[in-house]
Amino acid sequence: MLKELDPLLHAELRLAVMSVLITAEEADFVYLQEQTGATSGNLSVQLDKLQQAGYIEVEKTFRGKKPRTVCRITQTGTDAFEKYVEVLKGYLNIK
């Protein structure tokens, strides 16, 4: 029987964000937007969902007068992402 994929990570944009963050120490909002092609509003909503789940940390600061949002994956997020990949491999029969 196939295990259930994490519905939070199964959404395309949230999976893309996590894929970027799993390989980077941190990424700012602008970089995530460039990498995912998401609109500001949609990316903001999805980052909030990931943060509420404890998968990422979000730090809001200013660089000069410009706001800067930096995201980092948490250990919980790393564990969830790795589990998601393992379950997906089961769907594809990859060892």
Residue-wise pLDDT tens digits, 4-39: 999 999 999 999 999 999 999 899 999 999 999 999
What are phi and psi for residue 59, nearest 5 degrees? -115, 125
Structure confidence at residue 53 (pLDDT): 98
Residue 1 belongs to some domain of the structure: no
Split into its structural domains, the chain has a count of 1
Buried b (16+ CB within 10 A) or exposed e, 67-91: eebebebbeebeebbeebeebbeee
CATH number of the domain residue 80 falls in: 1.10.10.10
Dump pLDDT digits (tens) for 37-68.
Answer: 999 999 999 999 999 999 999 999 998 999 99
Q: Where are the alpha helices (DSSP H) in the chain?
A: 7-10, 12-23, 29-36, 40-52, 75-92
Does residue 2 lie in a domain region?
A: no
Residue 15 domain-assigned (yes or no)? yes
Q: Which residues pair with 10 in a beta bridge?
A: none
Domain that holds residue 16: 7-90
* Confidence at residue 95, expressed as pLDDT on a 0 to 100 scale: 65
Return the H-helix or E-strand segment holding 66.
strand 66-73
pTM attached to this predicted model: 0.91
Stretch 76-92: mean pLDDT, rounded? 95
